[in-house]
Chain A
Amino acid sequence: MNKLKYFYSPLLALVLLYGCVETNILDKVGLTTLVGYDVGTEKKIAATVVIREVNPEFQSNVEVLTTENDTSKGNRIEANHQLSKKVVVGQMRVVLFGEELAKEGLRYFIDTNLENASVSNGIYMAVVEDRVAPLLEYEYENIEDIGQHIFRLIEQNIEQEYMISSTLHEVARDYYSVGKDVAMPIIKRDKELVKLSGVALFKDGKMVSRLPATDSFYVKIVRDTFKAGLYETILHHEDLPSALQKITTDDMTVAFDAIHSKRKVTLVNAANPEFDLNVKIKARILETYPDINQGDPKSVAALEKAIQNKLAKELEKVIAQSQKVESDIFGFGEIYRGSVRHAQLTKEKWHEMYKDMKVNIHVDFVVLRNGVFE
């Protein structure tokens, strides 16, 4: 009966190990969907959590709690004291930081979330203008579950490529990369709604500056490829080529749908960093105001030229701003590190170099189709 041993061993394991695993029965836990951190009093962390609880009586309700403690785990204990259900973080989708806290540095929060196995690396991180607590505690007229709402808001915008992506994974990667800095969306309350209001630039995990939300397009095309987004830009009258200047006396608004963008960055000069940035955008023109004759190849070529110049100018502006605050959100440093042998790059060293870095921007804008509407 030697063979029976094999049947006994799982049976024995079943008996002995039953109950060794901690259960988290779905209806017995309070699911944290969103956590917001603020600077609390006396160097404490103020945490605001959005917790979804399911009760037989109320079906399900959303609790917003604010607690203050020294650590995020301490805050969780504190939250547990106020709830009838065990607080768990496995369904957390968004982590928000108050502006003040973001300026102090997020290293601790990136680490603690990264180390927690039940926190997904796909959660979104964002900065809130001013403090988080008021944003979450506000009684919105039409938003039932603020946690889910903010998650959907960020997710939707990232998927449509209106906003740069900032999952925990990406934030941590950028944070620990020598030649790249973190960028996150900024959100704020706008009356009865929550809106994305900009892009936060970080230096060494500390927020140093911000860009308006519309500039996230430029950040995106330099950071990586771009596949889906819609973009609208205003071409100033003085920048228009003469062919188009005839048509209108005013500024021209163009909306296009970038089908595909590709960027290529090459290091030209290693001593005083100088990069060639080639951005190639293939797009469909969706709308122009005032209307131009898109059937005419000449005016289309002129329009392409005008948009190219405009984009190059904007890119230059955005990069210049990031250089001013020494926040390399585009990852030029990584390209430098990849191109220069034994660069021995450190964050400090790169930030020094980044300030004086030169970028030659070439934009190649191609109108693939026009008159095609979604």
Chain B
Amino acid sequence: MKPFNQNQSPTAMNSEAPTENLETIAQAQDHFIQSIKDATNNPDDLIIQSFPPNITLIYIDNLVDDQTLNNNIIADLQNKPNDTPEILMAALSIPEVTVTSLLIKAIEGIINGSVLLHIEGYPQVVIANIASRESRALSTPENESQVIGTQVAFNESLSTNISLIRRYIVSPDLCNEKIKIGRRTNTAVTLLYMNGLASDQMVNTVRQRLASLDLDALIDSAVLAEMIDDNSLSVFPQMLLTERPDRFCDGLLDGKIGVIVDGSSMAIICPQSFTEFFQSQEDQNLRWQIATFVRLLRLAAFFLSVYLTPFYVAALTFHYEVIPQAFLVPLSESRALVPFPPIFEALLLEIIIELLREASARLPTKIGQTIGIVGGIVIGTAAVQAGITSNILLIIIALSALASFTSPSYMMGNVIRLIRFPIIILAGFWGFYGIMLAVCFILVHLLRQSSLGAPYMSPFYPPRLKEMRDSIIRMPIPLTAKRPALTRSKDDYKFDPEPIKPKKS
């Protein structure tokens, strides 16, 4: 079941297309100006300049680079007489210049930040692209920060992002396909992959999914990721959103396919398996022992975060038998004052923690610290003293909240945050049986998922022993020569798996 309408109605497109698309540029200057004004709804920032004897220059003020306009176009026009669009084109000292006779191309150009140069009496127009888009400077990754590794993140400019990637992968094999998505926003979306590594079938799938999206508007890549996912209804993301160019390039070099949306600082990588959401790019930069330790820690944190509170609820509500003897007295003493059953107690605290988290995410940074004080001291201590929660549960909840932050992918962190609640409720209803039911449900669900048709639980299901070397553990680099089969890469090995260091003779 697909919740989004990915099938464009071809009839609607075709009926409109011929009349508009084939309209040509008027020869007369007045007519041409009028047709541009009509098409762009005559905005106030539409600048029309005439250069006697016969040239008209039209552009939208906020889209073009003023300096280039002055130095390279206006200056050129004033110096030389220009008779035909072809001569004019050659005269301009800017790289991206085209000539068109179609009005729609001219409109598209002006909207994208080009200057239109019209010569009286010619049914063509010269389009000189001198777009300048406002964009912030490159900054360090905020959401996926890491200690060792590059400290640069994508920003909102598509061209900057692509240039970042081209800096990491200096290769003609890096393919770049541009697709426009959104009937109203005409957002530029770029499909990036490595020719010779990425599977053609997967590239086709992504291309087809992107092309068949019939959207009104596309503002952010997260929306796009959700829409081109294999299962948009699942809580688990099947494509990775990353703001790190190094992570993105590492994905491309594994044979994955990347999608960048103009105006969005998060790039999409697919296919992505479940375990890869718990890998950080930093793992590649650390020694394998440390990387393995950190990965196992994260995995433990995932389980801790999801199952610790439900375990508490189930043990205290139904299975007092499993509580270790040494733990029995402190646990029951801290529970003695609490008037609620454990499930309410746990849900209450979990919701308080989620409230704190949400509040601190929404609050302006300046008063964000207040939340820490309110949350930590007031609610934490007061709740225990007032006797509505037990000390031990407070520790457990704090621990599981902390553990949920260790996920390198914020999207996956959110999932962990959410799926805890149904498990707590099930644990409160049926104890360990409820937890087991939830485990089975989640496991079955995960096993059914796919990412671009590739199994989501790879390399564990289907078991791919060689790839397990770089999954929840990370073996030394010489042992991880194989590219993940998840991507169906045309080139199986990253390098010759033979040891690099020759044996001692």
Contact = CB atoms under 8 A, between A and B. Distances in A.
B329 A17 contact: no
Interface string A338-364: 000000000000000000000000000
Given A10-B437, A10-B441, A27-B338, A21 B318 contact: yes
A91 B325 contact: yes
A85 to B, nearest CB: 11
A25 interface: yes
A25 B317 contact: yes
Given A91-B320, A91-B325, A93-B325, A27 B429 contact: no
Contacts of B336: 27, 54-56, 59-60
Interface string B77-98: 0000000000000000000000
Contact of B317 (A24, A56, A118): A24
A143 to B, nearest CB: 15
B333 A25 contact: no
A352 B10 CA distance: 97
A23 B429 CA distance: 9
A148 B328 CA distance: 11
Contacts of A60: 329, 332-333, 336
Given A59-B333, A60-B332, A148-B325, A29 B320 contact: yes
B256 interface: no
A18 to B, nearest CB: 5
A10 B444 CA distance: 14
A27 B429 CA distance: 17
Contacts of A24: 317-320
A91 B323 contact: yes
B329 A88 contact: no
Contact of A21 (B315, B325, B333, B429): B429
Contact of B335 (A17, A21, A26): A26
Question: B interface, by DSSP: helix, strand, loop or mixed?
Answer: helix
A3 interface: yes
Determine the interface band of chain B, counting residues with CB < 8 A from chain A: 20 to 34
A266 interface: no
B403 interface: no
Given A10-B441, A59-B333, A26 B429 contact: no
A52 B329 contact: yes
A151 interface: yes
A89 B429 CA distance: 22
Interface in B389-437: 426, 429-431, 433, 437
Determine the interface band of chain A, counting residues with CB < 8 A from chain B: 20 to 34
Given A17-B430, A21-B430, A26 B323 contact: yes
Contacts of A55: 336
B442 interface: no
Contacts of B437: 10
A209 interface: no
A76 to B, nearest CB: 16
Interface string B324-362: 010011011101111001100000000000000000000
B44 interface: no
A309 B87 CA distance: 119
Contacts of A10: 437, 441
A91 B315 CA distance: 12
A90 B316 CA distance: 12
A172 interface: no
A31 interface: yes
Contact of A3 (B1, B315, B321): B1
A242 B328 CA distance: 58
A278 interface: no
B340 to A, nearest CB: 10
B328 A52 contact: yes
Contact of B321 (A17, A23, A120): A120
Nearest to A152: B325
Contact of B316 (A21, A25, A31): A25
Interface hub of A18, A22, A26 (most chain B Cβ within 10 A): A26
Interface string B293-329: 0000000000000000000000111111101010011
Contact of B328 (A3, A17, A31): A31
A8 to B, nearest CB: 14
A12 interface: no
A3 B99 CA distance: 55
A93 B326 CA distance: 12
Contacts of B321: 90-91, 118, 120
B325 A151 contact: yes
A105 to B, nearest CB: 28
A1 to B, nearest CB: 9
A372 interface: no
B47 to A, nearest CB: 56
Contacts of A3: 1
Contacts of B441: 10
A21 B431 contact: yes
A21 B429 CA distance: 8
Contacts of A88: 320
A91 B328 contact: yes
A23 B318 contact: yes
A59 B222 CA distance: 52
Given A54-B335, A56-B337, A26 B320 contact: yes
Interface string A314-340: 000000000000000000000000000
A59 B320 CA distance: 18
18 contacts: A14-B426, A18-B429, A21-B429, A21-B431, A23-B318, A25-B317, A26-B331, A26-B342, A27-B338, A29-B320, A52-B328, A52-B329, A60-B329, A60-B336, A90-B319, A91-B321, A91-B323, A91-B325
Given A21-B429, A21-B431, A56-B337, 4 more contacts: A23-B317, A24-B320, A26-B335, A59-B333
List 9 A-B pairs, minimum CB-CB distance, nearest first. Answer: A90-B321, A54-B332, A27-B335, A26-B316, A54-B336, A56-B336, A56-B337, A26-B320, A26-B332
Interface of A: 3, 10, 14, 17-19, 21-27, 29, 31, 52, 54-56, 59-60, 88, 90-91, 93, 118, 120, 148, 151
